[in-house]
Amino acid sequence: MGPMAGRVTIGDLAQRLGLSKASVSYALNGQPGVSEQTRARVLALARELQWYPSSSARTLSGARTGIVGLVLSRDPDLLGTEPYYMLVLSGIEAELIDAEYGLLLRMVGSEPGRDLPVYERWAGERRVDGVMLFDQRRDDPRIPLLRDLGLPAVLNGAAEPGSVLPTVVPDEHGDARQVVELLHGLGHRWIGHLSGPSGLLHEERRELLLRAAAAPAGIEVESIRGDYTMGTAERLIGERLRRGPGPTAWVASNDVMALGAVRAAARAGVDVPGRLSVVSWDDSLLCEIGAPPITALDRHPRDFGRRCARALLAEIAGTPDDGAGARPSELRVRSSTGPAAP
């Protein structure tokens, strides 16, 4: 028996086996109401014909796994030190609790491409109902792969124009504008951007948006690539401070790097904020308790996590996402920013 033309449905299985659609559905979903013999016949045919539940069929039949997947291509050490991801994760979990969903988390290290076999396996073994994607890269190979696998997916944090997947993006345009307005108002005309690793779409986007906001205000932007860790940030900013005249304010792409910048200044005897201002693109308890406390963008990471999870659950259910927009970020002005040094 070869595969049938088009998608195999529960109706097709029922017809071939001379059973009701309900019986086939019970059998496929592990529900009571059919004998073990019948269940075995249904499962055997379903496997033979490569029947695969569509996301809407899964919703209707209740055959979902109740699990969404997240593959992180990151050094696991970062997971323990960078609060942002943990706050997003806690928002995701808060939404998943309500939906009684579990999160299958798989870390694969930061070497590119090691995540792809995981999606293939999850789809093949029907381990998850859908996946959340973060840290999008240009020409991201996950997108065509997930389309081919037919696995529901939502892109979070950045999206290439014309992306085929549903996306949840923060308002980074507004974020860049707020940061530049603050620094411009304090008289800064030369600012530095300590970004995250290259290749990440949201980092490229921030860089563009910062420059776009700064240019009309006559502000020069200089960039250094960090790796989200405090140690590297401290070394890079330390080197830059020793190289002579430079930015009077640094915008770091996360809180941990902002702390590194403050440490580098302290080590070089450069007063913060007297001689150098520091802004963090992420807010957290680390910024709040820093010495000095660090001016930071509160981008509501828990809300963002909730939105990401909600969008994926809607995609899995085949219902429209509620489409609630992002709450605008709030710039928490603390003691790490002050008037530009003359």
Chain residues that interact with its own copies, rule: CB under 8 A: 30, 36-37, 39-41, 43-45, 47-48, 65-67, 76-81, 83, 86-87, 89-91, 93-94, 96-97, 102-109, 118, 121, 125, 127, 230, 256, 259, 285-286, 289-291, 301-302
Which CB, 211 or 235, lies closer to its own copies?
235
- Would residue 141 be called left, alpha or beta, if left means φ above 0 and alpha means ψ between -120 and 50 degrees? alpha
Q: Which is nearer to its own copies, 260 or 338 (CB)?
A: 260
What is the Cα–Cα distance from 185 to 194, expressed in whole angstroms? 21
Contact 161, 139 (CB under 8 A): no
State the minimum distance, in angstroms, from the CB of residue 93 to its own copies. Answer: 4
Give CA–CA dist 197/225, Å, rounded: 6
Between 39 and 202, name the residue whose CB sits nearer to its own copies. Answer: 39
- Could you tell me where the beta strands, DSSP code E, fall in 16-129? 67-72, 102-107
Residue identified by tokens 């020069």 is 220
- Phi-psi map region of 150: left, alpha, beta (phi>0 left; psi -120 to 50 alpha): left
Distance CA 78, CA 200 (A): 16
The token duo for 142 is 């996950």
For the CB of residue 260, give the shortest distance to its own copies in the complex, in Å: 11
Least Å distance, CB 284 to its own copies, is 8
Q: How many CA atoms lie within 13 A of 120 on its CB side?
A: 8
Report in angstroms how near the CB of residue 22 gets to its own copies at its nearest: 20
Measured from the CB atom, is 66 or 199 closer to its own copies? Answer: 66
Min separation Cβ 157 and its own copies, Å: 17
Cβ at position 339, least distance to its own copies in Å: 23
Cα angle vertex 323, ends 321, 328, to 5°?
Answer: 145
Cβ proximity to its own copies, 69 vs 248, nearer residue: 69
68 vs 219, beta carbon nearer its own copies: 68
Residues 325 and 341: their CA atoms lie apart, in Å, by 38
Task: Say what the alpha-carbon torsion angle 103, 106, 110, 113 is, to the nearest 10 degrees.
Answer: -110
With 0-12 / 13-18 / 19 or more C-beta atoms within 10 angstroms meaning exposed / middle / buried, residue 36 is exposed
Q: Least separation, in Å, of the C-beta of 215 and its own copies?
A: 34
Q: Which is nearer to its own copies, 319 or 335 (CB)?
A: 335
